[in-house]
Amino acid sequence: MEQLKAEFQNQERVIRQKSVSASRRTLVGKFIERFVPFLEQVKYEPADMHFLGSPVDYVVFKGLHEDQVTEVVFLEVKTGDSLLTKRERSLRDAVSGGQVRWQELRIGVASEDNPNIATVASTPALRELYEKIERRVLESASALAFDAKSLSSAPEEEADTEYDVTCKGCGQSFKFRFTDQELKHGRRVKCPRCAAVGAYDLADL
């Protein structure tokens, strides 16, 4: 039993070490991916390389920095002995087989400032989405207007002024801040020296 326990602990330690090592390699690989455009062996202009991460690391628009694209390259970055995944291989094969094309999608609107919902939402799903967005915008605008009105109608906090107070118990002076209303109607104040509590108003200051 002790031998089996020792063997289990040994195998557990090996598994953990492999897991940590694999995690470290993954993190290092992810870190390197982001700095690939600045490596010496990369012959593309960094400004031409756009990071995606998935399903491919970079799409290189060669010549983009000069506003004249002459070639588009799908670039996958690998470190060590890591291999392409099934998805990456399928992308490689599609590109190698010429299954790449340009497509331009235009969505008609009445104007950019005031789109026509009947034109934009040509399908029930799009129409529903557009109406939801419109409702959320109106709700947000109403909420903002209500908050602004509440803030404008909220009473301002009354300013206070510092006065010298003479304690009615020990006769020592100390400073205390009173508002105009407190001076008018009086306020109970505790002396910080003798802890005596007394009522003070403007006549006492």
Walk along the chain (205 residues) and give the pLDDT tens digit of each residue.
Answer: 566 556 656 655 655 555 545 555 555 556 666 778 888 888 999 999 998 888 999 999 999 999 999 999 999 988 778 899 999 999 999 999 999 999 998 766 555 555 555 555 556 777 777 788 888 888 887 777 776 666 666 555 667 888 888 888 888 888 888 888 887 888 888 888 888 888 877 777 7
For residue 153, being part of any structural domain is answered with no
Q: For residue 148, is it within any domain?
A: no
- What per-residue string of b and e applies to 173-204 under the rule 16 or more CB within 10 Å gives b? eeebebeeebbeebeebebeeeeeebebeeee
Same domain, 57 and 114: no
For the chain, how many structural domains are there in total?
Answer: 3
- 7, part of any domain: yes
Same-domain check for residues 90 and 9: yes
Same domain, 46 and 123: no
For residues 17 and 39, state if they share a domain: yes
- Domain check: are 85 and 120 in the same one? no
Containing domain of residue 135, as a range? 109-141
Query: Is residue 146 included in any domain, yes or no?
Result: no
Assess contact for 25 and 18: CB atoms under 8 A: no
| Concatenated DSSP letters of 181-193 | HHHHH-EEEE-TT
In three-state secondary structure terms, 63 is: coil
Do residues 127 and 176 both lie within one domain?
no
Residue 40 lies in a domain: yes
Token pair recorded at residue 146: 């209500």
pTM of the model: 0.43
Please tell me whether residues 92 and 8 are part of one structural domain: yes
Rounded CA separation 50/109 (Å): 30
Q: Are residues 133 and 84 in the same domain?
A: no
